[in-house]
Amino acid sequence: MLFVSNNLIKLRFRRLTGNNNISCGFHLIRVLENRIPSINFNFELKRKLIHTTSNNKIMEGSIKKSKPAVLYHYPCPDGVFAALASHLYFSAIKQDVLYYPNTVYSPVKLEDLPLDEINQVYLLDFVGPSGFVANLSSHVESVIILDHHKTAVEMFKADTSIHENVVKVIDMERSGATIAYDYFKKKLSDEGVGKELVAEDKLERVNQLFKYIEDVDLWRWALPDSKAFTSGMKDLNIEYDVRLNPALFGQLLLLDPRLVIDQGMSSLSQKQNRIDEVLDGSYEIALGGGLFGHCLAVDADSVPNLRSELGHQLANKSRDLNMRGIGAVVYRVPELGNADFLKISLRSVETEDTTPISQKFGGGGHRNASSFMLSSAEFNQWKLPVTAST
């Protein structure tokens, strides 16, 4: 009877299988027994061979399934255009990718992700709650953060648990969309695949789209007709969840900024009339019960597509009435399924910083635009006895 050493078995295993794994360890044993006469496999050696081939099979399957996942800020135009930039890149390299719209009020959790299929995760325009990145990075090969929010800067400044496999591109001077656009354009160029992120005949139009998205998101309003562009985008009523709207990225790529502006121009006056009506119902609140001073607030459940511009005008009105230059736009989020909670979206003018307020209550954002959730009972305590300001 011939007993074979583990080293000889390993050598024969490599020669017989090459780079291909045999699906069953028992089959490998039968092959070896046929090719090497008088072999006697003891039970432990058989168990190891079966375990090895089984693990190799699992590893092979994992390699085949590995794909990137993109979590993008939803339903924010800046977030969806950041996702569009990633789509252009992954389409160019013919890579399957998983997309997840990521809301501030109900962010994606680890258990929502098929981690056995994902090798890297892109977080676009929203990094999730505290601790999410650290936990996520221990389950995937890499995490790439492309963001511009002040809360992201402060989160990672204080978080010492971030692993080395986390790449951060955080730039408060650009929006999430343009950060992603520049990142994926450079990535594609560096990889030398011989393709451009955007075809030459579409380049000028697509570049202009991203510039308008940034101008609006950063509240610069420096480009001609930025407000009309915003109005036109809202009029289009595009669903930004790519899982609900598989044609999303194609729809965005077809947009012409000039046509979007023309559409917005035609509806601006009508929208302004609606904003004026809501502004007439504004009331004074003590932010954080007075901890952050006073400002004006409005109930905005009836104007879902006008809240950002409404907040900006409300902040101006608040400042003109010698309160802080902040507007609190208050509404319920039906997707939460809890009418007892309100979303408080803060907008500010000039150098007024809204982020300390939002962070105090578990939210975030950037200087002139941030938000948080609050119970209606607590918010009612912020209201002052005067019910309206004119």
Mean pLDDT of 218-245: 96
Cα 349 to Cα 214: distance, rounded to the nearest angstrom? 17
Q: Which of 7-11, 292-296, 309-313 has the lowest mean pLDDT?
A: 7-11
Is the fold of 66-266 the same as that of 280-382? no
Q: Which of 70-74, 105-109, 256-260, 383-387 has the lowest mean pLDDT?
A: 383-387
Mean pLDDT of 177-192: 97
Helix (H, G, I), strand (E, B) or coil at 105: coil
Cα 10 to Cα 273: distance, rounded to the nearest angstrom? 79
Mean pLDDT of 142-157: 93
Q: For the residues of 354-385, what is the DSSP string, one character each? A: -HHHHHHTT-EEETTEEEEEEEHHHHHHHB-S
Q: Which fold has domain 280-382?
A: Diaminopimelate Epimerase; Chain A, domain 1 (3.10.310)
Cα 153 to Cα 75: distance, rounded to the nearest angstrom? 22
Reported confidence tier of residue 154, pLDDT bands at 50, 70, 90 = confident
Strands (E), the chain: 67-73, 98-102, 118-124, 142-147, 166-170, 283-286, 294-299, 326-331, 341-348, 364-366, 369-375
Q: How confident is the model over 58-68, as pLDDT tens digits?
A: 444 444 448 99
Reported confidence tier of residue 343, pLDDT bands at 50, 70, 90 = very high
Mean pLDDT of 171-197: 96
Mean pLDDT of 118-144: 96
Residues 6 or more apart from 72 whose CB is under 8 A from it?
79, 80, 82, 83, 86, 99, 100, 101, 102, 124, 125, 126
Residue 182 has pLDDT above 70, yes or no: yes
Cα 54 to Cα 59: distance, rounded to the nearest angstrom? 9
Residue 274 has pLDDT above 60, yes or no: yes
Reported confidence tier of residue 22, pLDDT bands at 50, 70, 90 = very low
Mean pLDDT of 300-311: 94
Higher pLDDT, 31 or 387: 387
Reported confidence tier of residue 24, pLDDT bands at 50, 70, 90 = very low
Write the single-letter amino acid at 5: S
In terms of Cβ atoms closer than 10 Å to its own Cβ (0-12, 13-18, 19+), residue 177 is buried
pLDDT at 34 (0 to 100): 47
**Cβ pair 79, 73 in contact under 8 A:** yes
pLDDT at 123 (0 to 100): 99
Reported confidence tier of residue 160, pLDDT bands at 50, 70, 90 = low
pLDDT at 176 (0 to 100): 98
Cα 20 to Cα 17: distance, rounded to the nearest angstrom? 5
The domain limits of the chain are 6-64, 66-266, 280-382
Residue 33 has pLDDT above 70, yes or no: no
CATH architecture group of domain 66-266: 3-Layer(aba) Sandwich (3.40)
Mean pLDDT of 87-101: 98
Reported confidence tier of residue 87, pLDDT bands at 50, 70, 90 = very high
pLDDT at 158 (0 to 100): 67
Mean pLDDT of 115-126: 97
Cα 341 to Cα 334: distance, rounded to the nearest angstrom? 10
Write the single-letter amino acid at 217: D
